[in-house]
């Protein structure tokens, strides 16, 4: 995607930020569900249109479940833990709270709480890693859940139409009778704030 006002050094810094933050988040999720999760190389997009980000999220499938948290402080924006609905059901089952398919709203109750807590843990691990990197305290909102297409989830959970996005896919194979998982972490920071943060990181590294 277009690099906009970000040069190659700034994009590299964004990818480093995604690698550290999302790596910590995926490790935390793996510990929660007792699985070793494999992480793809993080992607950093600058100049991304909202529709392109929604299409990327939609590549998980027609039915997506996403847990969103607001990032507050030096790194303001939104973070989503997104999974195909079948994989979200598998995660809830691994955590000991299978979806009740007989219930009118299958994601009510403990299954929904398990997914919300997963999103909270992922978000907390991400902001902790970034906070250690920038030596500042970062805050996190209460998690919210959305279901539907990638576009619908972004419209419901993301307050701004930023032009910067960080994305990392993760997956693990089936183990014994346990199901496999795949999903992604998508971070959409406020463009002005992330530009200042990247500048701060580059200055610290003497770039």
**CATH code of the domain covering residue 111:** 3.40.1550.10
Q: For 11-15, 133-137, 191-195, which range has the lowest pLDDT when averaged over its residues?
A: 191-195
Do the domain assignments include residue 79? yes
Q: How many residues does the chain have?
A: 207
Do the domain assignments include residue 18? yes
Q: For 9-13, 35-39, 147-151, which range has the lowest pLDDT when averaged over its residues?
A: 9-13
Look-up: residue for tokens 């999302």? 22
Alpha carbons 51 and 154: distance in angstroms, whole number: 10
Domain that holds residue 28: 8-179
What was the pLDDT predicted at 44? 81
Tokens linked to 103: 């219930």
């Amino acid at each position: 995607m277009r690099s906009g006002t970000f040069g190659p050094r700034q994009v590299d810094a964004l990818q480093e930020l995604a690698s550290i933050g999302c790596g910590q988040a995926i490790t935390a999720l793996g510990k929660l569900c007792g699985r070793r999760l494999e992480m793809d190389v993080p992607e950093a997009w600058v100049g991304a249109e909202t529709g392109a980000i929604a299409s990327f999220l939609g590549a998980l499938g027609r039915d997506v479940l996403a847990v969103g948290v607001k990032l507050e402080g030096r790194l303001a924006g939104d973070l989503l833990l997104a999974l195909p609905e079948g994989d979200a059901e598998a995660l809830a089952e691994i955590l000991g709270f299978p979806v009740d398919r007989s219930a009118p709203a299958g994601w009510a109750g403990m299954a929904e709480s398990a997914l919300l807590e997963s999103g909270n843990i992922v978000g907390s691990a991400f902001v902790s890693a970034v906070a250690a990197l920038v030596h500042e305290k970062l805050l996190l909102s209460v998690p919210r859940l959305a279901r539907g297409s990638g576009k619908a989830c972004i419209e419901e959970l993301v307050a701004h139409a930023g032009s910067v996005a960080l994305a990392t896919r993760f997956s693990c194979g089936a183990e014994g009778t346990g199901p496999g998982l795949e999903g992604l972490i998508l971070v959409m920071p406020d463009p002005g704030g992330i530009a200042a943060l990247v500048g701060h990181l580059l200055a610290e590294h003497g770039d």
